[in-house]
Every structure is written in structure tokens, then in C-alpha cells.
Amino acid sequence: MKVTVAGTGYVGLVTGVCLAEVGHEVICIDLDEIKIRMLNSGASPIYEPGLEDMLVKNLEGGNLRFTSSPKLAYNQREVIIIAVGTPENPDGSANLSYIDSVSQDIAEHITEEVIVTIKSTVPVGTNDRVKELINSRKPPHLQVEVVSNPEFLREGSAIKDTFEGDRIVIGSANQQAGDIIEDLYSPFKVPIVRTDIRSSEMIKYASNAFLATKISFINEIATICEKVGANIEDVAAGIGLDKRIGNQFLQAGIGYGGSCFPKDTKALVQLAGNVKHKFELLESVIKVNNNQPRLLIEKAKAIVGELKGRRVALLGLAFKPNTDDMRESASLVLAKELIESGSIVSVYDPIALENARKVLGDCVKYCTSIDEAIRGTEVTFIGTEWKDIKEYPINRFKKLMDTPRVFDGRNCYSLEEAVEHEINYVSIGRESVLQPIANQND
């Protein structure tokens, strides 16, 4: 099929490349000309395992193109996928200005009957609004249908999630239009769920809100575990075996971040408010999450005393492993709190250092190895469970730090190894390993 994807952010780019990979003829459009030049030269602006190779292959194969011209992008197309961002307004609602301007471009430039499908996360009712907007401006003889098709890609495994996802949701008012979108995805071999448009829009928000709820729930249980002497890892494993609960998204830590959960949970609270429903459960989920990184800092202060003037390392900055994305990262909250408390902070991340520099500027020392970050420090915080951090030999904390005190926000190590190697080790939802430290100098 002849497909155009509007927006080459995370979702748009991965979708465009994967659709080209299965043989569709894909054009991706973005207003950012620098980005378009970069993509046409075969370089991916985001870090995503496997994406760049697939991008180059399909550019060379001729079924993938990038442009910033609406005239070229919307000419003779069968399907147009809108995948532009819906950032957060100051009141937490979704900002739909990019959706509106793309819809206007589509209406002005289409030359055929076309199906427009919205992949961006949008408040319930937006697909209907876009349909009205396009219909009021398009050439009168062309029929345009709008189909909702939310995405469920996770950063770091977006290609796998596209080809082997749990489901593809298609919400349509017109059966035939929905069938065409079903055909578009038929090479992916992923179960299809067909619904009306508004249910499809709601599925996206409800999914993300539920997953965020699972995380805040397990984090609350972790806090109680610490106080009653239980172990959150065992508790999570025990409850996760119940198929009705499921074993995923029960990893306690310093909370969720990223471009979706924080934004979408707030947007759903706002959406509920618009129809006069106070979504108290989700409000609590957000509140618990906002407080989660601070709890770890408080635990550190209770043991170490004031952090002012202390040499502190922070390992892991991305909002989760396998991405350089720092948006709403819980580690970033740690970093900012540490800077504000007057600590002398050195940070390490295997790939997010460049992005970190844009946010943290000159306030911290950037280190390209864990050894460098922790050498001579008095306290280490772990913010992201990168593989190299999890596999870092715990005895090196004792060897390189002035005082081996590790506050682990992602439970990377076992309590047994902390005891064995005489590390002061405080994690989430588990007993603290506190022992006299031989070389402690304060």
C-alpha cells in the first residue's frame, strides 16, 4: 500500500520503517528539515536497537523516503498515519496543535480518497474532531475516513513490539476503512482488536494508566515491606504467579518515567475531570510516583546525614535501560535533588550522557565509566538498571569509593553479595545492609 507517516518521532519513525520492511511504499514527513536530511542519509536521530540497519536497508531498497513537503507526502496515498506528538499542556491536558496542523495539511494536499489513521495518543473524541476538521477543508469530491489506531511500543524494544506485539487496536466507524487498516498490518501477525473509535482511544489511556498503577502499587507495597521486614522481590514473585495479576510491571524502584506514562496518566485525570469525574485512584498513582525518587534520598540522608559537600555518584540516567531518553526520568529527579542539596555529583550512563548534558549543564561531572564515576565518592545512587550496572562487580564499590555506601533505586544487587563484600547497601522494599565500614572516614 502507499502509506504516509506524519511525524518522525519515536512512534512515527519506527512505524514507517517497519511498514517499509514488510513491503509497503512508505513516505515519512516531518517539518524538521535537518532531521529529514539526516534520515535520508540513513542516520537515525533516536537510539533504538536494530532501527538504523532497517532504515538503511529500506532506503536503499527504495520503499522508504523522507520529506518535509506536504505536497509530495500527501499526493496519491491510500493511508496516512498521524504520529505527531501530543505534548502536555500546563494543566496536564494533551496539546493537540500538531494534530490540528497536520490535519489541515492533509486536507489541503490530498489528491485521492484516503484513510487517515491516528496513532498519536489523543483524548477521547479527537478522531471525530479530526474527521470534522479534514472534511470541512478537503476537496468536496474526495472521501476521507478517520480510523483510530493507538500504539503500544516500548522504547528499547519498539521493533520487536511492532512485529510481535500483544495486539493491534483498530477503532473505526466505517467497517471498510477498518478492514483496510487491518490489511495494512496483516504481515505483522499480531492479534487484531476491532472497536468503535472512542473505545479504541480509551484503550490506549486505560492501558498506560493500568500499567502505571501496577508500578505505583508495587512501590507502595515495597515501602511497607521495608517497615515490616518483608522482601519485595519475593512478594512480587509470589503475587505475580497468580495469572490474574501477572508477573510483569511488578519491579519496585524509584518510579516510572518516559514520554508516555507521566503524560498519559495526567491527561486521563484531566479527561475524567472534563466529564466531572474525579479519578482519585490515578491521582494517587501519580502522587506516589512523584514522591518515589525522594524516598531514596531521604533514606540516604537518614544514614549519611546531610548531603551538602558530599562526593556523590549517580549511575544510570535514562528513564529505563536501552534508551538514551531522559524525558521524565526518575534519575533526573535524583540528580536535581542531589545538586540542590549541595552534593558534588558525578554521573554515568552508557548512552544518555549527551542528553543529560542538555538538562544538567555544568552542574555535574560526566563520566564515561562506572569506575570513574564512583572513584573517591562517599555515596553512590543507582537510578537505572542498565546491564553493565547490574553486572558491575559489587566489590569494586569497596575498592574505589571512599566509603562504600550504595543506595540502589532499581534493586540491581542481591542482599547476600552486599553482606559478603561489606557494602552498606540500601535498596527498595528490602532490608538495608548496614555494617561498620572499615575505611569510613567520617
Phi, psi values for residue 356, rounded to 5° = -65, -40
Give yes or no for a contact between 319 and 384, defined as CB atoms under 8 angstroms apart.
yes
Q: 403 near 410, Cβ under 8 Å? A: no
Q: Which residue has the cell 487484531?
A: 192
Smallest gap from residue 217 Cβ to ligand UDX (A): 10
Closer CB to ligand UDX, 251 or 424, in the complex: 251
Q: Tell me, what DSSP letter sits at residue 312?
A: E
Does position 349 bind ligand UDX by CB under 6 A? no
**Per CB under 6 A, does 386 bind ligand UDX?**
no
Candidate list 225, 260, 367, 412, residue with the active-site label: 260
Nearer to ligand UDX, 249 or 279 (CB): 249
d(CA 38, CA 40): 6
Does 260 bind ligand UDX (CB under 6 A)? Our answer is: yes
CA atoms of 36 and 42, how far apart (whole Å): 10
Q: Which of residues 151-180 bind ligand UDX (CB under 6 A)?
A: 151-155
The reply to whether 253 sits near ligand UDX by the rule CB under 6 A is yes
The verdict on 257 binding ligand UDX (CB under 6 A) reads yes
Task: Tell me 327's DSSP state.
Answer: T
Confirm or reject binding of residue 258 to ligand UDX (CB under 6 A): yes
Scanning 167-175, 243-251, 278-286, 417-425 for contacts with ligand UDX by CB under 6 A, the matching segment is 243-251
Considering only residues 261 to 280 of the shown chain, the ones binding ligand UDX according to CB under 6 A are: 261
CB of 321 to ligand UDX, least distance (A): 8
Judged by DSSP in three states, 5 sits in strand
Shortest approach of ligand UDX to residue 214 CB, angstroms?
A: 7
* Binders of ligand UDX in range 191-220 (CB under 6 A): 208, 211, 215
Rounded to whole angstroms, how far apart are CA atoms 151 and 54? Answer: 20
Question: Catalytic site residue 260?
Answer: yes
Note whether 251 binds ligand UDX by CB under 6 A: yes
Nearest to 28 by CA among 14, 16, 41: 16
What grid cell was written down for 412? 540491581
Report the 10 Å Cβ neighbour count for 22.
16
Residue 432 DSSP one-character state: -
320 binds ligand UDX (CB under 6 A): yes
Q: Please give the residue ranges that form the binding site for ligand UDX (CB under 6 A).
A: 151-155, 208, 211, 215, 249-251, 253, 256-258, 260-261, 319-320
Active-site residues: which are they? 260
